């Protein structure tokens, strides 16, 4: 260490959080630590030129007159930090600093600090509310007022930034977050701020432009001019600053309430100051409403209508949203088709074709069918060019609507209304559902990894990520396939740097900026869409599985098929509709399990084939006492037999009531079986003593086998799931042995699939429940895992056993 040069030792000092201990190791190091130049550069190297003076003023013992001289020459010194230091030292005004800070300085040192500041800036305002920070805050507050009512002009702010080097001197300063806001008010401040060391972070880009378009009380013409000039000036001063598609879409969402911002955006688009086509942005924004419940809101429909009038489009997806809006604008579900035709003419749209009307009817949020049926009978354009539908064509059209709604899985309200008026709709639903029944043989093979990963059941799809194709006819021929992302926006046109389109308006986005810090991305994402999170849901009020269970019964074939599809797709909303939870507010003795579709062992076999984790509701059903069925055919056949038996028994009972009942002779009671069991026989088989003991030479006594206690449903579930778990374990070990045999460093070791992991976790709970139920009956803890293979030792339960060895004094010693 003694051979190191002074420059290297200084670098060691700069890297230490507390260099006091290192400075006392030798006289040489202590002499270097007391050097004013080393001390001043220590703060600059540790905290940067902007915050060096702030942190140095908080280390009173290290700060001397000579160190202050060096800092004033190397660090950034603003008049604002001098004013705050004077207020803090003399207790004249409370700022954000709550520690001792400059109060630890000796009075001669602080007097020297004030002398250096006076030599640099002359007479410094020291009154309350006269410091540069207060003026800057007033400037930001006045920006929301009309120009005539503002107290602080932009020239004053330019003076304190340009001449007095104003800049927030600490990351804890509240003005640090508000400094980018000043650039949205006056972009001309950017060159002066950059001269003081300020660097615009790109993450504040949307924040700054949102404030430019914020609604104020100035007249419309002045606001439009100011917004356009501010956007152009800021983009000219900094190439990294540009108006993103995110902010532009938020402005479009306020076209009804903030017309000045919307007109300024349109002017910027016409002048070519945007990096994207505004018409394309509006088309993508309108398209996104086809997948969210917000399309049913009156305010949204008004916004969509104005945007389409200003930016008409021939895009099929945009036209679909406008057709849907024409039907949803009706205040009630009436049979008047004239209102639909009038709204279409107002938007400049032509009459709907059969495909257009079918696409509107199967939308998850369309539940008004009377106006659509009336429009189909009078105005719709058929495939052959004919106008209107006859009775047979209308029946087939409504059947197509029912088939598509079943595949969509989320418009049960429309199916309920249609089935109440048209009987053939319910029959079509049953036929469509039964035609899509899935068995274990219909799934991809166990060795088809790609097929298992991509497999999706046709019913109960996840509408947030995919939409089923549009079909027509009894053979369900596909006529249209929609290939879009979750929001329905074509992202191929949207570069990553231009921003993502949301349905949030400008006011909600500004409120999110104020409430959530920029570094808390999770909390910010929850506030992106405003207060009404229900507006972003992709499904209707009632799901199709829920309507099927209510209409056809929870133990019907249609409900069983819907549950199978929902389980394979992992659709939580549909599964919760088929397996509702019990009322937890009532007492345990009075709780009544609601009607639920039974789960079967075949469901677990299918999930094992696909390698997907079972839904938690399935294991909850088993824990609640769900009856064990191998497949849905078991309870469907039982229900059909019981129904037939009940009907035949009712007919037999009616006949017996009419026929005379014969009088029966009294018979002797049979002795109790328990007494017969107590008699122990020592007779030799096939001897004459057998008949003598029975006392009857003609009729031999039938000895019945003693049956054990009947196996409970929970034990059946555990037994069969244990077999399935052992099969999964054997398959996993076979894959691992094959990987070990042909080990390749580039191929990772085989991992347990999601089904295997979930089954391991939940089987422990189920086995524990079996032990708890069997313990009171048997009087001892029963091990239900003894049927496992020797290789499955990690899944076997081993109760803790206490040592029976007797402790003695010798052993204890």
Specify the pLDDT at position 628: 94
Q: Are 366 and 327 in contact (CB under 8 A)?
A: yes
Helix (H, G, I), strand (E, B) or coil at 687: coil
- Bridge partners of 353? 381
Work out the percent of the chain whose per-residue pLDDT is above 90: 39
Residue 240 has a CB neighbour count (10 Å cut-off) of 10
Specify the pLDDT at position 583: 44
**Checking phi first, is residue 473 left (phi over 0); if not, alpha (psi -120 to 50) or beta?**
left
**Of 210-219, 381-390, 512-521, 720-729, which one has max mean pLDDT?**
720-729
Examine the pLDDT at 703 and tell me if it is beyond 90.
no
**One-character DSSP codes across 432-492:** HHHHT---GGGSPPTT-HHHHHH---SSS--TTT--PPEEETTTTEEEE-----TTS--TT
Specify the pLDDT at position 588: 45
Q: Could you give the count of Cα atoms lying within 13 Å of 343 in the half-sphere of its Cβ?
A: 22
For helices 391-408 and 354-361, give the axis angle rounded to 10 degrees: 40
pLDDT digits (tens, 9 = 90+) for 491-518: 544 555 788 888 899 988 888 877 754 4
List, in order, residues 6 or more apart from 760 with CB less than 8 Å away.
725, 752, 795
Sign of the CA dihedral with 222 first, then 225, 230, and 233 last: negative
List, in order, residues 6 or more apart from 213 with CB less than 8 Å away.
227, 247, 251, 258, 261, 264, 265, 506
Specify the pLDDT at position 440: 93
Q: Are 545 and 429 in contact (CB under 8 A)?
A: no
Residue 778 has a CB neighbour count (10 Å cut-off) of 9
Specify the pLDDT at position 112: 94
Examine the pLDDT at 525 and tell me if it is beyond 70.
no
Spell out the SS3 assignment of 511-559: HHHHHCCCCCHHHHHHCCCCCCHHHHCCCCCCCHHHHHHHHHCCCCHHH
Q: Are 596 and 625 in contact (CB under 8 A)?
A: no
Average pLDDT over residues 409-423: 90
Examine the pLDDT at 285 and tell me if it is beyond 80.
yes
Sign of the CA dihedral with 546 first, then 548, 549, and 555 last: negative
Specify the pLDDT at position 666: 41
List, in order, residues 6 or more apart from 276 with CB less than 8 Å away.
245, 248, 498
Mean pLDDT for the chain?
Answer: 80
Helix (H, G, I), strand (E, B) or coil at 380: coil
pLDDT digits (tens, 9 = 90+) for 56-106: 998 888 889 999 999 999 999 999 999 999 999 998 887 888 888 999 899
Residue 349 has a CB neighbour count (10 Å cut-off) of 17
pLDDT digits (tens, 9 = 90+) for 160-203: 999 999 988 888 888 887 788 888 888 888 888 888 888 777 77
- State how far the Cα of 673 lies from the Cα of 703, in Å rounded to an integer: 10
For helices 107-121 and 65-74, give the axis angle rounded to 10 degrees: 30
399 pLDDT tier (thresholds 50, 70, 90): very high
Average pLDDT over residues 20-42: 79
Nearest to 29 by CA among 6, 53, 63: 6
Burial 507-532 (b: 16+ CB within 10 A, else e): bbbbebbeebeeeeeeeeeebbbbee
Q: What is the DSSP letter of 479?
A: E
Burial 9-24 (b: 16+ CB within 10 A, else e): bbeebeeeeebeebbe
């Amino acid at each position: 260490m003694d051979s190191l040069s002074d420059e290297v030792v200084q670098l060691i000092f700069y890297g230490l959080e507390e260099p006091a201990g290192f400075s006392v190791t030798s006289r040489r190091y202590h002499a270097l630590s007391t050097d004013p130049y080393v001390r001043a550069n220590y703060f600059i190297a540790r905290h940067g030129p902007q915050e060096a003076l702030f942190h140095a003023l908080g280390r009173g013992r290290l700060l001397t007159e000579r160190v202050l001289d060096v800092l004033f020459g190397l660090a950034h010194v603003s008049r604002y930090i001098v004013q705050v230091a004077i207020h803090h030292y003399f207790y004249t005004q409370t700022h954000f600093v709550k520690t001792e800070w400059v109060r630890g300085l000796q009075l001669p040192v602080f007097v020297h600090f004030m002398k250096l500041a006076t030599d640099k800036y002359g007479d410094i305002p020291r009154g309350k509310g006269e410091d540069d920070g207060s003026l800057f805050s007033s400037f930001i507050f006045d920006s929301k007022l009309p120009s005539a009512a503002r107290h602080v002009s932009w020239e004053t702010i330019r003076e304190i930034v340009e001449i007095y080097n104003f800049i927030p001197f600490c990351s804890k300063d509240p003005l640090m977050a508000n400094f980018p806001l000043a650039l949205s008010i006056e972009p001309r401040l950017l060159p002066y701020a950059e001269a003081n060391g300020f660097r615009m972070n790109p993450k504040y880009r949307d924040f700054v432009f949102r404030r430019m378009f914020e609604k104020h009380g100035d007249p419309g013409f002045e606001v439009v001019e100011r917004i356009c000039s501010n956007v152009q000036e800021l983009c000219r001063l900094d190439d990294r600053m540009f108006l993103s598609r995110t902010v532009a879409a938020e402005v479009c969402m306020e076209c009804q309430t903030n017309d000045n911002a919307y007109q300024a955006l349109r002017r910027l688009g016409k002048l070519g100051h945007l990096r994207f086509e505004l018409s394309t942005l509006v088309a993508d924004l309108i398209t996104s409403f086809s997948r969210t419940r917000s399309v049913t809101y009156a305010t949204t429909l008004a916004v969509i209508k104005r945007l389409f009038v200003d930016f008409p489009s021939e895009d099929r997806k945009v036209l679909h949203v406008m057709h849907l809006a024409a039907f949803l604008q009706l205040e009630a579900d009436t049979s008047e088709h004239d209102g639909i035709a009038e709204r279409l003419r107002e938007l400049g749209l032509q009459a709907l074709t059969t495909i257009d009307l079918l696409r509107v009817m199967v939308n998850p949020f369309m539940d008004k069918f009377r106006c659509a049926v009336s429009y189909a009978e009078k105005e719709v354009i058929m495939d052959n060019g004919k106008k209107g539908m006859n009775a047979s064509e209308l029946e087939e059209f409504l059947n197509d609507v029912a088939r598509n709604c079943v595949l969509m899985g989320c418009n049960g309200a429309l199916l309920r209304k249609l089935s109440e008026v048209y009987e053939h709709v319910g029959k079509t639903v049953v036929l469509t559902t039964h035609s899509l029944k899935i068995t274990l043989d219909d799934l991809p093979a166990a060795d088809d990894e790609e097929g298992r990963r991509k497999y999706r059941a046709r019913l109960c799809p996840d509408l947030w990520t995919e939409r089923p194709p549009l079909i027509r006819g009894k053979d369900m021929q596909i006529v249209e396939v929609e290939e879009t992302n979750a929001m329905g926006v074509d992202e191929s046109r949207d570069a990553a740097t231009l921003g993502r389109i949301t349905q949030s308006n400008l006011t909600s986005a500004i409120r999110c900026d104020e409430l959530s810090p920029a570094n808390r991305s999770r909390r910010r994402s929850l506030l992106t869409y405003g207060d009404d999170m229900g507006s972003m849901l992709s499904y209707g009020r009632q799901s199709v599985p829920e309507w099927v269970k209510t209409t056809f019964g929870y133990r019907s074939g249609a409900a069983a098929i819907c549950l199978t599809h929902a389980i394979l797709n992992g659709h939580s909303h549909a599964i919760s509709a088929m397996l509702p939870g019990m009322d937890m507010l009532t007492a345990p003795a009075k709780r009544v399990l609601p009607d639920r579709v039974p789960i079967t062992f075949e469901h677990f076999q299918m999930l094992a084939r696909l390698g997907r984790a079972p839904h938690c509701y399935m294991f909850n059903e088993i824990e609640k006492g769900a009856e064990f069925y191998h497949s849905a055919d078991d309870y469907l056949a039982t229900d059909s037999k019981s129904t037939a038996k009940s009907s035949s028994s009712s007919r037999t009972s009616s006949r017996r009531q009419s026929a005379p009942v014969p009088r029966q002779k009294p018979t002797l009671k049979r002795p109790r079986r328990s007494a017969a069991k107590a008699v122990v026989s020592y007779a030799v088989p096939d001897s004459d003593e057998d008949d003598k003991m029975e006392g009857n030479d003609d009729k031999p006594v039938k000895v019945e086998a003693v049956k054990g206690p009947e196996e409970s449903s929970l034990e059946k579930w555990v037994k069969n799931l244990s077999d399935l778990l052992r099969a999964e374990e054997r398959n996993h070990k076979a894959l691992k042995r094959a990987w070990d045999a042909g080990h390749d460093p580039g191929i990772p070791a085989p991992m347990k699939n999601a089904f295997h992991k979930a089954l391991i976790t939940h089987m422990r709970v189920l086995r524990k429940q079996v032990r708890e139920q069997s313990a009171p009956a048997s009087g001892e803890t029963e091990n239900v895992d003894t049927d496992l293979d020797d290789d499955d030792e990690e899944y076997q339960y081993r109760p803790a056993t206490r040592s029976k060895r007797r402790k003695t004094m010798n052993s204890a010693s």
